[in-house]
Amino acid sequence: MSAIDLSKYSDSKKANDKRSGDSASAESGLTKLLNTEIKLFEKKFDAKQKEWFYAELGVLISAGVDIKTSFEIIEQETSNKKHKELITTIKNDIIKGEGVTGAFAKHPKIFTNYECQSIKIGEETGKLSEVLIELGKFYTSSIKLRRQIIGTLTYPVIVITLAIFIVYFMLSFVVPMFGDIFKQTGGQLPETTKFLIRISDKSSFIFYTLVLIVGSFVLLHRTQSKKDWYRKYTSAFFLKIPLINNLIKKIYLARFCQSMRLLIGAKVLFTEALTLVENMIGYYPIEQAIKQAREEVIGGSSLHQSLSKHTIFPPKLIALIKVSEEVNAPELIFEKLSHQYSEEIEHQQAVVGKVIEPFFIIVLGLIIGFILVAMYMPLFQLSNGF
C-alpha cells in the first residue's frame, strides 16, 4: 500500500463532512451490513495488511492525530474494498464508545487475543501509539521469519516432487521398453535388473499408494493440526531431524523473545505476558514450557529458574534472562536476543540451503543412475557375448 497522503485527506474532508449529515440515519443499518460482509473475508486481512495497518495507525497517533481522524486517513488510503469496510466498522464502533480494544475484539477471527490484549494495555497505560508501532514491527519480523521458512523448504519440496515424477516416468515407460527387449533376447538377467523390472510392474500401484499416503497426511494435518496430540508428535518428530531441528527451534525462540519484548515494553506483568505468549506462540513444546513456567512464577519462582527446567530453552537464553532479572532490564535483553536469533536464523537458513541442495541432487542422481545401470548391464552382457 502507498504511504499516507495527508493533503489528499484534507481536500476530501470537507466533502465527507457535507455528506455526513445525510448518511447519519443510515449508519446503523450500514454497520450491520458491514459486520455481516466482514465474516466472509476475515481471513484475508493477513499479516502483511496488519504490518501496514498497525505501523501507519501508530505513526499517526504518535504525531498527535486523533483516533477518529487517523482511521479516516487510513480508510481513504486503503484500496481493498473489504479491508476498507473493516476499518470503517472499527472506526464507527470506537466513535460509538466501544473503545479501541472493544472495537478490535469484535473481530476475533482477524485480531488475535495477543493483539487485543496488547492494544488494551497500550490504551490503559497511555502508550497506544507505541504498542501499535511495536505490533507493526512484530508482524514485520513474523513475515520475515515465514519467508525464511518457505525459502528453506521450497527447494527440497520441488526437488522431491520432480524426483518422484521422473522416477515414475522411467519405471512406467523406460524400464518396460528395456524389459520387452530382454524378453525377446532371452538369457539370464542380473538380479538388480530383475528387481527393477518387478518394481516397474508395480509402479502404478506404488505411485498411487504414495499419492494416497501424501493426501492422507495433508487431510490429517488440515483436520488435526490444532489438536494437542498431533502438535505434540509432529513437533517431536521435526526436533529429531538434523539441521532442521535447530532452525525450527530458533525461529520460535525468536518469536518468544520478540513477543516478550513487546509486552514487557508495554508494562505488562510477567505472568500476563507469559499467558499471552503461550496463546500465540503456535509451537507445542514452548507452549507447554511457558505454561508450567508461568505457574511456577506465580508461586514465587524466578523466570530463569522456571525456564531452565525445559531443554527447549538453551543455556545462553536462560543466563541472559537471569541477568535481566538481576539488573531489571528484561526488555533490553529480550530485544537483543530477538535480534541475535533473527541473525542466526538467516545464517542457518543459508547453511541448510547449501547442504540440502547438493544432498537431493546426489540422491536423485543415485536413483536415476541405479535405474540406468540396471537396464544397460544386460545389454553390455549381450554385446560381450557376441
Pick the residue with more confidence: 64 or 243?
64
Quickly state the pLDDT bin for 37 (edges 50, 70, 90). very low
Give the pLDDT confidence of 193-206 residue by residue, as tens digits.
888 888 888 888 88
Q: What is the mean pLDDT of the chain?
A: 79
Instruction: Render 63-90 in DSSP notation, one character per residue.
Output: TT--HHHHHHHHHHH--SHHHHHHHHHH
Name the pLDDT band for 329 (thresholds 50, 70, 90).
Answer: confident
pLDDT band at 385 (very low <50, low <70, confident <90, very high): low
**pLDDT given for residue 138 in this prediction:** 79
* 23 vs 70, residue with greater confidence: 70
Half-sphere exposure in the Cβ direction for 90 (13 Å, CA): 28
CB atoms within 10 A of CB 107: 18
Task: Indicate if the pLDDT at residue 212 is higher than 90.
Answer: yes
Q: What is the mean pLDDT of residues 358-377?
A: 81
**Whole-structure pTM value:** 0.65
Instruction: Give 221-254 pLDDT, tens digit per residue.
Output: 889 888 889 888 988 888 888 777 888 888 888 8
Contacts of 136 (CB under 8 A, 6+ apart): 50, 51, 52, 53, 54, 55, 56, 58
Question: Given this model, what pLDDT does residue 44 score?
Answer: 67
Q: Over 80: is that where the pLDDT of 184 sits?
A: no
- Specify the pLDDT at position 383: 62
> What pLDDT does 384 receive?
60
Looking at the predicted structure, is the pLDDT value of residue 152 above 60? yes
The pLDDT-based confidence of 381 (bands split at 50, 70, 90) is low
Where does the pLDDT of residue 7 fall: very low under 50, low under 70, confident under 90, or very high at 90 and above?
very low
How much is the average pLDDT of 159-167?
81
Distance (Å, whole) CA 69 – CA 91 = 9
Per the listing, cell 499479516 goes with: 47
